[in-house]
Structures are given as structure tokens and as C-alpha cells.
Amino acid sequence: VMMMAVISISAMTFASCDNDDDEPVNTLKLNPAKVEIAPKATSTVTIGSGMTPFTVRSSNTKVATVKSKGKTITITGVAEGSAVVKVTDKSKQTGQVIVTV
């Protein structure tokens, strides 16, 4: 019985040591990476790495909209709340900007 307990604990220890970081890794350099703006105001973010063209997407267009031109992203506040702007380049590298309106 004692041996089974030791084996069970060992199995749980190995399973819990797994490195399961599901958070996306920002491979694109975005400056700034966090933006606070008022509704109807705009903020620009510079893409410091990656290959054009870039695609940009807001996680919540009721809070913030986004467009890009070259290596510049323009974020416009719509209403109070938070959103994440995801940026992807030609080679599928990604980055995120945290937006608070």
C-alpha cells in the first residue's frame, strides 16, 4: 500500500512539472504594448520588427477599432472597456497590444 502511494505521488509530481504555458509569445516588438485612451481618441503603436504586410484585429470592436499602414497601427477608442489588439505579420509572427478605453 505504501509503495502504491509513493508511485501515485511521483506520477502527480511529474505531471504537474509540465511546462504548459499556453500564453502566446509576442515575437513582434510593439511600442507601446499597453495603451490607455478615451472614447473617440486615437493612439498609435509602432511595429518594431516583422515583415509587412501586417494584419491587425481587435478582440472587441465595441471598445476599440484598429487599422494599420506599414509599420504603424492606429487604435481608436469606441467605448469604455478593454480589448486586445492582435498583430500578425507575413511570416505568422504575432504580438499583442492591451487596450483600455
Asked, for residue 12, whether it belongs to a domain, the answer is no
Residue with cell 518594431: 48
Residues 45-97: tens digit of each pLDDT: 999 999 999 999 999 999 999 999 999 999 999 999 999 999 999 999 999 99
| Phi, psi of 12, rounded to the nearest 5 degrees | -65, -40
Asked, for residue 82, whether it belongs to a domain, the answer is yes
What CATH code is carried by the domain that includes residue 41? 2.60.40.1080
How many domains is the chain built from? 1
The residue type of 34 is K
Tell me which residue of 50, 22, 21, 47 sits closest to 33, measured CA to CA.
47
Who's near 88: CB < 8 A, 6+ residues apart? 54, 55, 56, 94
Give this prediction's pTM. 0.74
30 vs 20: CA distance, rounded Å: 25
